[in-house]
Amino acid sequence: MSEFNVRPARSADIPGIHRLLEPLVDRRILLGKDLAVLYGAVQEFVVAEASGELIGCGALHVMWEDLGEIRTLLVREDWLHHGIGRAIVEELEEKARRLGLSRLFCLTFETEFFARRGFEPIGEQIVDADVYSQLLRSGDAGVEEFLDLAHVKPNTLGNTRMLKHL
């Protein structure tokens, strides 16, 4: 059960990613994403697969010149504690480096997992005022979570905002 590989997602993977998300959305661990949103973000995703089945996924969303977010990181429950999450994060970090990013953000309940990978909890504002004002106009929910805007707090209660310098 330990043989798996991590690769860039393809459009054919999107229904499988959506199926992986459903149980976590039902448990209010992750926010749901429509298929159209997932297809539009397919280039951001990597997937883990074993024997042709999707067992995990994660996405890297570029937020600013030097800043990206790890999003939608999940591993199928029967594959937890097999190194899949770590392998996905490592692949996303390498992708971030290739894109020239130097910081990665995540919003998570899994603080210990991310802390073992060098992420640290962050305070209120970690970008300068000019960047902040530009990011406010993005209209992206993840960016709004990063900025810690009041109107997204009901969806993020209990989550920790964390950052890693690459």
| pTM for this model (two decimals) | 0.83
Mean pLDDT estimate for the chain: 85
Percent of the chain with pLDDT over 90: 61
Distance, in Å, from the CA atom of 62 to the CA atom of 58, rounded to the nearest integer, reads 13
Please classify residue 115 by burial: count the beta carbons closer than 10 Å to its beta carbon, then call 0-12 exposed, 13-18 middle and 19+ buried. middle
pLDDT in tens, 54-67: 999 999 999 888 99
pLDDT in tens, 60-105: 999 888 999 999 999 999 999 999 999 999 999 999 999 999 999 8
- pLDDT-derived band at 154, boundaries 50, 70, 90: very low
**Average pLDDT score over residue span 134-161:** 57
The set of residues, in sequence order, having a beta carbon less than 8 Å from that of 131 and lying 6+ positions away, is 64
